[in-house]
Amino acid sequence: MVLDPSLNSQLLFDLHKTAVAALAFYVWEYLITFDDEVRYIWTKPRKWVKFVFVFLRYFPFALILSNRILTDKVFNGATISYAALRAWYVAQVAVAHLAMTGVEIIMMTRVYALYRNNRWIGWGFVLLWIAETVVVLVGLFVTLPGLHFKPELMATSVPHSFAYLAISALVSQAIILGLTVYRYRAGEWAGTSLGTLLIRDGSMVYVAFAATTASACIYSLLSLNFGMTEYAWYLSCISISGCRLIINMQRLPNDRGSQSTILDTSELELTELAHNGDAYSTLRGEPELV
- 20 vs 8, which has greater pLDDT? 20
Query: Stretch 101-128: mean pLDDT, rounded?
Result: 90
Buried b (16+ CB within 10 A) or exposed e, 10-24: eebeebbeebeebbe
Name the pLDDT band for 7 (thresholds 50, 70, 90): low
- At 33-46, the pLDDT tens digits run 999 999 988 887 77
Specify the amino acid at residue 117: N
User: With 80 as the cut, is the pLDDT of residue 61 above it?
Assistant: yes
Name the pLDDT band for 25 (thresholds 50, 70, 90): very high
What are 212-219's contacts with CB under 8 Å, separation 24+?
Answer: 212/237, 213/165, 213/166, 213/167, 213/169, 213/170, 214/166, 214/170, 216/158, 216/162, 216/163, 216/165, 216/166, 217/162, 217/163, 217/166, 217/167, 219/157, 219/158, 219/162
Name the pLDDT band for 284 (thresholds 50, 70, 90): very low
Name the pLDDT band for 137 (thresholds 50, 70, 90): very high
What sign does the dihedral 245-249-251-257 (CA atoms) show?
A: positive
Query: Stretch 88-107: mean pLDDT, rounded?
Result: 89
**CB contact set of 164 (below 8 Å; sequence gap of 6+):** 93, 135, 136, 138, 139, 140, 142, 143
Q: Is 268 helix (H, G, I), strand (E, B) or coil?
A: coil
Give the HSE-up count for residue 191: Cα atoms under 13 Å, Cβ half-sphere.
8
How confident is the model at residue 98, as a pLDDT?
92
| φ and ψ at residue 251, rounded to 5 degrees | -80, -20
Specify the amino acid at residue 203: S
What are 123-132's contacts with CB under 8 Å, separation 24+?
Answer: 128/172, 128/175, 129/101, 129/104, 129/172, 131/168, 132/97, 132/168, 132/169, 132/171, 132/172
User: With 80 as the cut, is the pLDDT of residue 212 above it?
Assistant: yes
- 229 vs 12, which has greater pLDDT? 229
In angstroms, the CA 117 to CA 269 distance is 11
Q: Which of 39-48, 152-161, 177-186, 244-253 has the lowest mean pLDDT?
A: 152-161
Name the pLDDT band for 227 (thresholds 50, 70, 90): confident
